[in-house]
Structure 1
């Protein structure tokens, strides 16, 4: 019987306790937002915890949290979780609609940059590592750095902020202060990975607009100087070179092979114009190599003439490409190849000479 009485007393106590813990919290006008109560010695319910959206103040009364806070602790603005679409800033315990300056919100509503999300479900943001100004994915994966530092993007597994690039020779720093690797074509580069400032052995730098590239050969109209650069030839040159032998070529962007209508003068390392009626000449301005159309080239004397004296041991030969030769040693087989009106040739000669004098 005694045991039964003790059990009944205990049951009454439990019912009484829970009634006041739960029912009293809900009916007490001073504690409408209490989640859990306890009785003091006078059987007065005391609030121990509040429902979501409220916090327990120093008087054991539930007060409402800030409207942006889903839940808070001790103070209305000390948030521990946030309503959508806000994010919890664990550094300030506030709910922010936007990420702080120096960071951005991505399509997944993750704050990338100075803060990043490490618990997406609870909308937490965490501060970047002290080496980073902004970061993403992890606190040590930097996406921007402090002044006088560069971002090494080749570092593994994450980007790092450093004082210099890992490869100080074959890397360059772009406008965002990122360390970038030069292209395989360049030994050194700047601004862009394909804007070369130095080439591998046996390659030459050639300027192409705002960029410079490395080539195996400089190509037509250019020559390579001793510094390994391709420079443009003089306007009167077809090709040019830089070499030590003045008999083979010339120095400092002068002519190696002169253009049509010019001949090479070794004394002053220049190309000089041929004298009319020579279309092209050699060694001297009057030593013709070929003539203008409808003129005769005398191979014996290297001159151009407007007629060929077929009566005194010469014959006319068509050399092709509008070139006509006046050959010596009369050959019966070729004596009637070409016949021209002498007066017509004289008029043509005067016309050509007049045009030539206007040009020079």
Structure 2
């Protein structure tokens, strides 16, 4: 009966580990011949991982200065990963399209124009180099139209930038309704103004008149397709043209709520494989200081003491109403600090030319000149209808048509109307606009949407996006030549792009992407060494990782030993052995296992007769197993004589005789000693045996009559012990 003893052991180890892989092995020296008596089991295995600082790729501790290696867009210095492209504390591979890179920081010049003081805060989203559907849904993004596969295919890449939606994403454009994405940002700090920007990628078959709209109501920025683009972004479907990158900008908006719903709406006729749209680089600037307030109470900028402009007059701004203008006045800031009087015929107005009253709910932010006669529409899909005639406003001192009318009659109604995009100067009697609304350009009397224009004055563009030049003759922004970072009016490069840039470059000449095998490093395209791996390099003489067959040491790739397919830290520290299909190599040296020899780059088993020293060739041996001796000329193991249990040099040069437990044989011949006879490979003393067949054993004849004979031999191979009577 066995007395079993059982143990329950809690065991834990702590060690440095910075690989993406970990293998846990359990070993035992229990007696494998007694599986029912000796055994062990494992339960409640837990692995706790102490993560690196967010700036590190690998580390030997949790602190910021414990980094061992860095992400692609960072460099290691004193254990700290220093970001090369930083925007609002976030480390990126590239700056947003509407930013430039200065001293390792992404700078938005247009945001700086309104960021005159330090009382601002910027919220960003979709800036990362990588994101997926599950991340954006978890962060609160919402799609107006979900499709069955949307959870798997709602992001894509274009020009090495990740897009929300994009080419081939599983969403569907429809003929009947617009689509949108939105996200509500909550718990915003106290502020008075916001400015929202977003980068939109439009690909392939977008038609003139289709649009993308940022925001709603008075905060919307509408981009309308006015021409077919010939640009190719290098991503999308087989129709490799019609691509464009658009920056939507809401401008400075009065906003005080702690929540803001970001929304982009679009309407297109084709599916996402022939007419696609993608989004990234969302930034929301919160102006925490009211620009209209001149003097604050306290340091929190949450209570205004005095507004800008004159004080204590009828046209003074109202301190208790966020410095807004009183009734009968309109705001023309920043052109004028003081509130401006509405026209005498218009008791309440939005501007010098637009009255405000109780308008129809369909009317937009420009108000109306009559309750159902809108100056613009709330919903982009609601257009002026012929049945909505613009009434002629006749005042005692005004006897001319309203600016919305091209022609009018004494009946007090417009006979023909100006185009809806004509500006505050209206149009001529033939319908040709005199000027245009903001972000529309007057071209041969027609107001067309301005592409890539940032600012205009009376419908005339005065400033273009970076990388575009103002064509004053045609009043439009034209893209500089591909090789130019900036250009002059004659489209001659003022600043060239750096060498080996692919496509457009930043306005400082630094590259956004590189051609062929060149790698982007700090805006420069450099060619990495052939030994550099997929993470490429930070300089022409260093690598971030290595191709198989090389290992990284101080950012230099060295070749592994010839036995290694892959190695790490040193040449002979193999992680994968070369030509190891039969699995007979031992890591990390990749030497063949015992009793195997390397032959034709493979581990081949030695001959079965080879001993513990193995072999140097598949057909030779270094020593032999018992019963064999090593032939000095052929280096092969030959069988010993049957008399030898072990031998050396020759087959009959025994070192141990077979069947010699009674020491009855002579070494090295292993013949039976004198007075012994060999029967059945065994030596017997002659005086102890009785011979039935004397003719076969003449040597023992003189002992046949021995009185003490105890052994009768019936034949040479069958022995029976018997007492002779």
Q: TM-score, normalised by structure 1?
A: 0.41
Richer in strand (by share): 1
> Which entry has the higher C-alpha Rg, 1 or 2?
1
**What is the TM-score with the length of structure 2 in the denominator?**
0.24
